[in-house]
Amino acid sequence: MYWIALQPSPDELRQAWGWRALQFTPRVALVDEALLLEASASERLFGGRRGLLRGLLKGNPDLELPAWADGPTSLVALALLRMKRAGQPKPALLPDGLPLETLTAAGPHLSMLERVGCTTFGQLRSLPRAGLNRRFGAGLLLALDAVQGQRPERYPWLELPPDFDQKLELQSLATCAQELLFTGQHLLTLLQAWLQGRNLGALALEFEWTLDLRRLDGKPLPATEKMELRTAQPTQDMHHLRRLASEQLARTSLAAPASQLRLRTLQTVPWGGATTSLLPEDNTPGEKLHQLVERLSVRLGEGNVTMLEPRADHRPECMQASVRASESVGGAAWPRSVDGRRVRGEAAHPAKGDPLFPPWLLREPLRLQVKADKPLYQGPLQLLTRARRLEGAWWDPALEQPVLRDYFIARSETVGLLWVYRERLSAEQERARWFLHGIYA
């Protein structure tokens, strides 16, 4: 058997370390002041004892490294941990060289055992068992057998809750939103341990704080206030969530001092792990795009951070639209149809890969003068190509009739190459109308 004893500091992190330890073994128990892990079945999975210890102790930089010790039984590991905490050297002979003061079951009887000259496990084991049983009870003998591995060690094992919903009583009343985040660091640490233990990624969280007052200036107050955090991609990165929470709390005011903070998950998905690659272009330093967009959207407002997104429309002026960057980056970057639904396929953007499509489009088509059925723009235009016919937007209820155009590339003596189109004649028109729609650099 292989046991590991952990004693986090401060003690508030024991639950977080217990949940984190469940990633490495399902047999984790809280015994006295320490966490005990039975990891013999997990050694090979994590590359031996050294690899298991490295992953357990150094795999999470947000958790402070705890004091630890290992041994063949749980009580030996716990005794070695207590000796390390007290600054005592490790005995050469295990378990007989361990002092009795490190054994919890021997604590009530230490003074009497010391009077008879019994201070170590080995000296206690050399005494007659019948006399020990009559004088000190069966509990001491059972602990002695467990130290030597002669009795099975059974503990109430820790289990991860199916959902994360934790409350924290604040040490002092929080009068501003930033104080909530400072006090809620423990909840975020617990959340990361829970996500890693359940192998999940967080998409939506909710902070809820309890107000200490019921009325203010004669006006009733709600019992609690809430704040939601949402990410475009599932994450276990508490650094990013802390920055999002900090940005949002900076724009939040408390109706009254808060006395309790609650954090719960609203949406989680299975965690696929962090993508790793040996290619340098896949390991660019700095903040990820979706994280930057989320942080700026919280700071400036979602409507003020936009980006261009392709649309499934053959009209050049409708091939792209300005949308919220958080929506575009968060989902798959597929074009949308006119009704807003995402579509797939190369035909979603007909201008893609078209060498005749101009690099610059006017915001609105400019109507041209016509003389002798020829368009004019700072002089007569010479048509260089045959008509390229466009028929579309018959599905758009905002238009009275479909778009019917014939596009040409034209040359101007003063401007250069232009992209113009001619509207096809309707029954009410006597002469076709020409428009300038794009410019070639």
Listing DSSP states for 194-237 in one string gives HHHHHTEEEEEEEEEEEES-SEETTEE--SEEEEEEEEEEEE--
Tens-place pLDDT, residues 116-160: 888 888 888 888 888 888 888 888 888 888 888 888 888 999 999
* pLDDT score, position 265: 93
pLDDT-based confidence at residue 383 (cuts at 50, 70, 90): very high
CA distances from 439 to 225, 356, 414 (A): 54, 11, 13
Tell me the pLDDT tens digit for each residue of 391-401. Answer: 877 777 777 77
Is residue 122 within 8 Å of residue 159, measured between CB atoms?
A: no
Q: Residues 263, 229: contact at Cβ < 8 Å?
A: no
Q: Which residue in this structure is represented by tokens 């990891």?
A: 39
What pTM was computed for the model? 0.66
* Strand positions, DSSP E, 271-402: 306-310, 320-324, 360-371, 374-376, 382-383, 388-392
By DSSP bridging, strand 224-235 and strand 388-392 are: unpaired
Other C-beta atoms within 10 Å of 153: how many? 18
In degrees, to the nearest 5, what angle opens at C-alpha 98 toward C-alphas 95 and 103? 100
Residue 27: what pLDDT?
93
What are the tens digits of pLDDT across the range 263-300? 999 999 998 766 666 676 666 666 677 777 787 877 77
CB 135, CB 113: distance < 8 Å: no
191 three-class SS: helix
- Tens of pLDDT, residues 167-189: 988 888 888 877 888 878 889 98
Confidence of residue 301 (pLDDT cuts 50, 70, 90): confident
Output 97 or 336, whichever has higher pLDDT: 97
Distance between CA atoms of residues 189 and 204, nearest Å? 16
Instruction: Tell me if 24 sits within 8 A of 55, measured CB to CB.
Output: yes
User: Residue 293 in contact with residue 325, Cβ under 8 Å?
Assistant: yes
Long-range contacts, stretch 104-109, CB < 8 angstroms, 24+ apart: 104/32, 104/78, 104/143, 105/139, 105/140, 105/142, 105/143, 105/144, 106/140, 106/143, 109/136, 109/140
